[in-house]
């Protein structure tokens, strides 16, 4: 039925010789010449070529005549390496098959490098003795190149990820992501740090919502919820406050983008990704600048009011224009010295170097308001309590505000008015009492607090970490300050 004889042996049992069963050498060589594998056969311990098919020769850019009868190292020279010699020796010595993978083959500069998986099989004679090695090479260049490209992309991705991580670290950004369908939330370590959330605390939508400052919560949640609508364009850019578990309030700038995917032909919210940046310091500085701008405007108005009050007070006691000019000049110089104490706060300069005392500050602030014809009008009874350079300006602002108001509306605005300032130390606390008497009748606290009162409270509570209380007594205003000694001496 067929002119071909049946070959009953596997390739690891190929035999050549007189009386050998199977296909003829010529026929087998013809078949192997065009098999889509790189095939060669070497014989003997010197591994001399007996056969090499077309693909093998093409891979090494050699002709058949240059191979047959020659030892491998003679025919291939530098292309023959220990990587392929070792498995040939193994097969010839043990009769066991061997295999190596991804062997590079680059015969010359004009030909691209190819890669091969090579299987080495023993060739036996009729006595079952191993006399040579049959090599079968499979071209795996595409696979190796794909693997190399995948490795390159992985390495490049790792490098890019590292660059991104370094860039994010340098900018102190927190990264976050929310998967809409599952509700899964991811926060980077920096994000958790900003929110004061530990690394092992589970992340939930409720945790994020509860972290938002109560005054900002509704509009922030509403804004994020609006991103579910594709018509919103999916952009988030807001600044709002959060409250950390320790009670600290922080300002953050949040930027994000909602990604949409096509579901049944319609866009649907899928993932919200973004960053946050702690901008507390910036917002604090901006608030401080706004406050200082208001303070400057407030002070300018007060200076005009004080100048007017000084003219009136000086004219009331002066006996001649010359005496009035001299007294007024002295008071204006005293006012300039008092203003010099608060100038650092108004111009954001550094406070005066060194330390002073509470009594010295009080004396300087009240000097412009003294009526030298009535030496007992202003009484200062202060223990020697040191005030540090950082706290001098804050305390001066408070006393300057009290003195200004007393001159405009209080005891120092009336002929018979008087002022007593007492200061003493009680353990770790410094107490200062400002008592006015004899001025316009006090009917009670003013209907609204002005900017000056707000500034005084802020200076005492925020900068000096103390307490200030106002008692609107019928005979005159009484103000009491309680300040931590350790803070005041900074």
Reported as a single tens digit per residue, the pLDDT across 345-362 is: 444 444 455 578 899 888
Per the prediction, the chain carries an average pLDDT of 80
* pLDDT category of residue 9 using cuts at 50, 70 and 90: very low
Q: How far apart are CA 465 and CA 489, in angstroms?
A: 12
Ordered alpha helix ranges (H), 61-125: 72-76, 82-94
The encoded tokens of residue 416 equal 């018979």
Residue 433 has pLDDT above 90, yes or no: yes
Reported as a single tens digit per residue, the pLDDT across 162-188 is: 766 666 666 678 888 999 888 899 998
Number of neighbours of residue 288 by Cβ within 10 angstroms: 12
Question: What share of the chain has pLDDT > 70, as a percent?
Answer: 74
Q: Kindly tell me the burial class for residue 175, based on how many C-beta atoms sit within 10 Å of its own C-beta (0-12, 13-18, 19 or more).
A: middle
Q: Are 117 and 147 in contact (CB under 8 A)?
A: no
Give the β-pairing of 467-473 and 418-426.
Answer: unpaired
Predicted TM-score of the model (pTM): 0.41
Q: Are 256 and 274 in contact (CB under 8 A)?
A: yes
Residue 21 has pLDDT above 60, yes or no: no
User: What mean pLDDT is predicted for residues 422-444?
Assistant: 92
Lowest mean pLDDT of 227-241, 283-297, 322-336, name the range: 322-336
User: What mean pLDDT is predicted for residues 400-404?
Assistant: 82
Q: Domains of the chain, with CATH numbers? A: 11-139 (3.30.450.20), 172-278 (3.30.450.20), 285-488 (3.30.565.10)
The DSSP letter of residue 458 is H
- Segment of 58-62, 428-432, 455-459 carrying the highest mean pLDDT: 428-432
Lowest mean pLDDT of 45-49, 130-134, 227-231, 445-449, name the range: 445-449
Q: Which residues contact 365 (CB under 8 A, 6 or more apart)?
A: 338, 341, 396, 399, 400, 403
Reported as a single tens digit per residue, the pLDDT across 99-137 is: 999 888 865 555 678 898 999 999 998 889 999 999 999
Q: Kindly tell me the burial class for residue 464, based on how many C-beta atoms sit within 10 Å of its own C-beta (0-12, 13-18, 19 or more).
A: buried
């Amino acid at each position: 039925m067929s002119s071909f004889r049946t070959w009953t042996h596997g390739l690891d049992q190929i035999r050549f010789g007189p009386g050998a069963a199977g296909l003829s050498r010529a026929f087998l060589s013809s078949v192997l010449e065009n098999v889509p594998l790189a095939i060669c056969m070497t014989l003997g311990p010197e591994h001399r070529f007996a056969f090499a098919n077309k693909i093998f020769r093409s891979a090494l850019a050699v002709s058949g005549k240059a191979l047959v009868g020659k030892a491998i190292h003679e025919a291939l020279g530098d292309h023959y390496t220990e990587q392929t010699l070792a498995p040939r020796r193994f097969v010839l010595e043990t009769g066991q098959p061997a295999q190596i993978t991804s062997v590079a083959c680059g015969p010359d500069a004009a030909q691209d490098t190819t890669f091969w998986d090579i299987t080495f099989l023993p060739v036996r004679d009729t006595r079952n003795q191993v006399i040579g090695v049959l090599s079968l090479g499979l071209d795996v260049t595409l696979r190796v190149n794909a693997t190399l490209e995948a490795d390159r992309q992985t390495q490049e991705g790792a490098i890019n990820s590292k660059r991104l991580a370094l860039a994010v670290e340098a900018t102190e950004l927190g990264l976050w992501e929310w998967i809409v369908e599952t509700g899964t939330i991811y926060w980077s370590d920096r994000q958790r740090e900003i929110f004061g959330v530990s690394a092992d605390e589970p992340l939930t939508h409720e945790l994020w919502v509860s972290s938002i400052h109560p005054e900002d919560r509704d509009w922030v949640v509403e804004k994020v919820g609006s991103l579910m609508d594709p018509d919103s364009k999916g952009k988030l850019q807001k600044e709002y406050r959060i409250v950390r578990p320790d009670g600290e309030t922080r300002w953050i700038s949040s930027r994000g983008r909602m990604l949409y995917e096509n579901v049944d032909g319609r866009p649907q919210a899928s993932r919200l990704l973004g960053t946050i940046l702690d901008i507390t310091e910036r917002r604090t500085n901006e608030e401080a600048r706004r406050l200082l701008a208001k303070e400057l405007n407030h002070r300018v108005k007060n200076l005009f009011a004080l100048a007017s009050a000084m003219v009136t007070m000086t004219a009331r006691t002066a006996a001649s224009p010359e005496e009035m000019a001299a007294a007024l000049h002295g008071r204006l110089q005293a006012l300039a010295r008092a203003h010099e104490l608060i100038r650092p706060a108004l111009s954001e300069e550094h406070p005066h170097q060194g330390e002073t005392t509470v009594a010295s500050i009080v004396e300087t602030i009240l000097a412009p308001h003294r009526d030298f014809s009535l030496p007992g009008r202003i009484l200062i009874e202060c223990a020697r309590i040191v005030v540090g350079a950082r706290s001098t300006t804050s305390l001066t602002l408070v006393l300057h505000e009290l003195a200004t108001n007393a001159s405009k509306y209080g005891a120092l605005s009336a002929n018979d008015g008087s002022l007593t300032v007492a200061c003493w130390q009680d353990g770790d606390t410094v107490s200062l009492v400002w008592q006015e008497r004899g001025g316009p009748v006090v009917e009670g606290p003013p209907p609204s607090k002005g900017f000056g009162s707000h500034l005084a409270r802020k200076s005492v509570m925020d900068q000096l970490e103390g307490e200030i209380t106002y008692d609107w007594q019928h005979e005159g205003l009484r103000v009491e300050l309680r300040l931590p000694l350790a803070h005041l001496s900074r």
